[in-house]
Chains A and B, each alone.
Chain A
Amino acid sequence: MVDSKIKQLLLALRAGKVTFAYPFEPRPSEPGFRGRVMVDTDKCTGCGGCADVCPTRCIKIIDVSPTYRIIRRYLERCIHCGRCEDVCQYGAVWLDLEYEMATTDKSDLFIEQHLFMGSCNRCGRCYVPPTPLDRLMVVGFRKDEEV
Chain B
Amino acid sequence: MVKEGILRRFFSKAFGRSLWVFHVNVGACNGCDIEVLDVLTPFFDVERFGIKLVGSPRHADVLLVSGPVTRTMEEPLKRLYEAVPDPKVVVAIGACAIGGAIWFDTYNVVGGVDKVIPVDIYIPGCPPKPEAIIYGVALALGLVPKKIERVEERHETPEELAQVIAYEKERVTAETK
Contact = CB atoms under 8 A, between A and B. Distances in A.
B151 interface: yes
B150 A104 contact: no
B20 interface: no
A4 interface: no
Nearest to B151: A111
Interface residues of B, number: 60
A46 to B, nearest CB: 14
A41 interface: yes
B129 A80 contact: no
Contacts, number: 168
Given A101-B125, A101-B132, A102-B124, A65 B165 contact: yes
A23 B138 contact: yes
Contacts of B123: 101-102
Contacts of B150: 107-108, 110-111
Given A68-B161, A77-B95, A106 B155 contact: no
Given A56-B104, A119-B168, A147-B156, A27 B131 contact: yes
Interface string A106-129: 111111111010010000100000
A103 interface: yes
Contacts of A103: 121-122, 139, 146, 148
A36 B114 CA distance: 22
Contact of B125 (A80, A139, A143): A80
A119 B99 CA distance: 35
A77 B58 CA distance: 31
